[in-house]
Chains A and B, each alone.
Chain A
Amino acid sequence: MSDLAIAAPLRAVQRLPGVAVVLVLLIALFGAIAPGFLSAANLSNVLVQSTILTMLALPMTLIIMTEGIDLSMGAVLTLTSLCVAIVSLATKSMLLGLGAAVLVGTAFGLANGLLVAIAKIPPFVATLATLGMAQGLSLIVSDGQSVVGIPHSVRDVYSAQLLGIPVPILMGVASYGLFHALLYHTRFGTYVFALGGNRDALRYAGLSPTRLLIAVYAIGGLMAGVAGLLMTARMNSGHPTAGLGMEFDAIAAVAVGGTSFERGNGWLLGTLLGVLAVGVLRNGLNLISLPSSVQVASVGVLVIAAMFLDGLRSRA
């Protein structure tokens, strides 16, 4: 967690967003009443469980900042996860599997970008259609069955540790670092802000919003490819429905994290906090064994509460 303290700029502290309040409250609550919640093993659990979603929610933040959305991400994750399984099964190489997944993921991201930026199809519709395509391809390449028997090098990605820290956490932290640098410390990041808030300014500056937009969606596909490796490693198999629906988790995390759907207001750290808040909630509720239907409702209440707190703050 220490990376958060370093990465968080001072203005983030001043904003005291709803999601941070909710996260702190949840941790305090479960720390007090859920046995084993604050153990190192459990905290590392929560972080590891949150990595795949983090890797989807980070690029989703950029996409939403451009007033777009990517509904295909969960289905593309499913497809890339199958790619990892199938290719690594055939070649015995984890890296080739990852390569194939990144390639397929990026191709889908590019396709989304082209549909949105060039064909001018509304992002919601375009990515809904590519969702169907990715889901269909997943069924076709796997013939609707699980892919098993993949090399151990793949599953090791999920269970391995480096300097005592699980590799997935390191990958999550690295992804966050990269996206943070990309969004706040490069010109590309500035353009992304402009894409949402002020597209005309980009045109006046002689930049092509089209190419930037395509790049943003392509990054989303690429990250779905990398996350596909983690997904396959986690299940030690590929499965044609594994990631379906995760796009909405990612979108919720982004929104709860304070990125607004209008005018290019993005907050990357908020997204991370949003992912963690949902992760902590689910983990804590599992530990205290509330009925499952209460768990379902709590996710909704959390989302609404975080947004409501945000609304109160912005009015104050």
Chain B
Amino acid sequence: MTDIAKNAPSPAWSLLSHNAAQLFYRLLAALLICIVLSVLSDAFLSLGNILNVLRQASLTFFIASGLTLVVLTAGLDLSVGANVALSACLAGTVIHQTGSPTLGILAGLLTGGTVGLMNGVMVTAMRIPSFIATYGMLWVLNGVTYWYMAGETIHGFPAGFRQIGSGYFLGLPIPVYLLLVFLAIGTAFAQRTVWGQEIYAIGANPVAARLSGIPVNCRLLLVYTVSGTMAGLASIIFLSRLNSAEADIGESLTLPAIAAVLIGGTSLFGGVGTIFGTFVGALILTLVLNGMNLLSINANWQPLVTGIIVIIAVWLDMRTRRSAP
């Protein structure tokens, strides 16, 4: 998916400043939605609602942040939702059977990471395009989860474990802290480490990256494993927040996560985008849903409204970016 001419390698500093300008406009779009909503609904601008939106955005963000790295390498991971479902069900079972949340968390992260690694192997060693490899993986994971769960629900977890998803610390929900931590780690990793820059380079031009000595396959394996592990993390947050899991929880998570990455300005052609942009993308999607609930928009109209707002947000962003100096 890479066009060599389009993505000529650029020095790191110009990449950063370019991204900063993009982000500014994207934040502007989010801000615009906020202003409209605060005029339409007085409940919107309350501290409670802002924390509420942030906490809701966190789950999408966890999945989408790992996915961002994959998309930066010009790949895609369609299996993230199914991965969340399987990881949540396995983690839940482990907690139930061992009584140990720690082991459960490990099981969730490990399952997620292993699935991610398998995606990575398919993409690198078996050379299957990521889109299709992870689509196949989606079906395989669904089959395994359906078989494993046999229509049952796993529910009821220890109070300590529940704190991760639903607890507060100093007045802020714990998932919001996790969100900030992973936003910081993700951004630092992508922008400030050699590995991060190598991932950009692979996405921008895999041939050049290979020629310049970057171990492309190793980095790709890493990226898919990270994406899977983040899905595992999301499954833990899901479990501890919802107190239960069943086989179909992942279905509705994948497309919003991908949408968050793309609305956040990461290009499917690779090499362009930031974790922070993805955060803003997740925020925009959450704001739209939050707004529609606050305003009690008729359920029949909600998909249409979401579609239109996504288009307007992306289009405005593209226009402002093009006219920017």
Contacts and interface: CB of A to CB of B under 8 A. Distances in A.
Would A and B touch once assembled, by the CB under 8 A criterion? yes
B128 to A, nearest CB: 4
A136 B298 CA distance: 11
Contacts of B146: 292-293, 296
B138 A261 contact: no
B13 interface: no
Contact of B126 (A130, A131, A261, A308): A308
Contacts of B126: 304, 307-308, 311
Interface in B286-307: 299-307
Nearest to A131: B307
Interface of A: 67, 115, 119-122, 124-126, 128-133, 135-137, 139-140, 143-144, 248, 251-252, 255-256, 260-262, 291-304, 307-308, 311, 314-315
Interface stretch (B129-137, B153-161, B225-233): B129-137
B143 A294 contact: yes
Contacts of A144: 299-300
A75 B6 CA distance: 33
Contact of B259 (A128, A248, A293): A128
A-B CB proximity, top 3 nearest: A136-B304, A297-B143, A132-B307
10 contacts: A119-B318, A124-B268, A129-B310, A132-B303, A132-B310, A136-B300, A261-B1, A295-B143, A299-B143, A301-B140
B139 A300 contact: yes
Interface residues of B, number: 44
B139 A303 contact: yes
Given A124-B258, A128-B259, A130-B307, A293 B147 contact: yes
A119 B319 CA distance: 8
Contacts of B138: 300
Given A297-B142, A299-B139, A304-B126, 12 more contacts: A124-B262, A125-B263, A128-B258, A131-B307, A136-B302, A260-B129, A261-B131, A300-B136, A301-B139, A304-B132, A304-B137, A314-B127
A297 B140 contact: yes
Contacts of B268: 122, 124
A224 to B, nearest CB: 16
Contacts of A129: 307-308, 310-311, 314
B144 interface: yes
Contact of A136 (B255, B307, B314): B307
Interface string B77-90: 00000000000000
